C-alpha cells in the first residue's frame, strides 16, 4: 500500500530512471567501483552532497514545491 501521492511517486520514479540512464551512458563504472565508500575520497563527499540534494528534492515534491530538472544535463558548454 502506497501512502504517497501517486503523482509524487511517479515523479520520483521518472527522476530515478533518468539518472539511471545518464549513469549508464556517462559513468557505467560507478556501480562497480563504489569509491564513495572509501574514507577521505572526494567521491565520498560528492555522494553525501548528492544524497542530501536528493532528500531535499523529495521534501520539495512532498511539500508541493517545483523541482527544476537539474543534475543530468550536460555542463560541458
Instruction: Provide the number of structural domains found in the chain.
Output: 1
**Position 28 in a domain:** no
pLDDT at residue 75 is higher than 70: no
**Position 4 in a domain:** no
| pTM of the predicted model as reported, rounded to 2 decimal places | 0.69
**Position 18 in a domain:** no
pLDDT in tens, 28-74: 998 899 988 899 999 999 999 999 999 999 899 888 887 656 554 55
SS3 1: coil
Distance CA 44, CA 35 (A): 7
> Which cell numbers in the block locate residue 56?
531535499
Could you tell me the pLDDT band of residue 1, with boundaries at 50, 70 and 90?
Answer: low
Written in H, E and C, the secondary structure of 25-44 is HHCCCHHHHCHHHCCCCHHH
Q: Which domain holds residue 49?
A: 34-66
**Position 40 in a domain:** yes
**Position 56 in a domain:** yes
Amino acid at each position: 500500500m502506497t501512502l504517497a501521492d501517486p503523482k509524487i511517486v511517479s515523479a520520483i520514479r521518472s527522476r530515478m530512471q533518468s539518472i539511471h540512464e545518464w549513469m549508464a551512458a556517462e559513468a557505467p563504472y560507478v556501480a562497480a567501483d563504489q569509491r564513495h565508500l572509501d574514507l577521505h575520497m572526494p567521491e565520498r563527499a560528492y555522494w553525501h552532497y548528492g544524497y542530501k540534494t536528493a532528500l531535499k528534492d523529495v521534501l520539495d515534491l512532498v511539500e508541493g514545491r517545483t523541482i527544476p530538472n537539474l543534475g543530468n544535463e550536460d555542463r560541458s558548454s
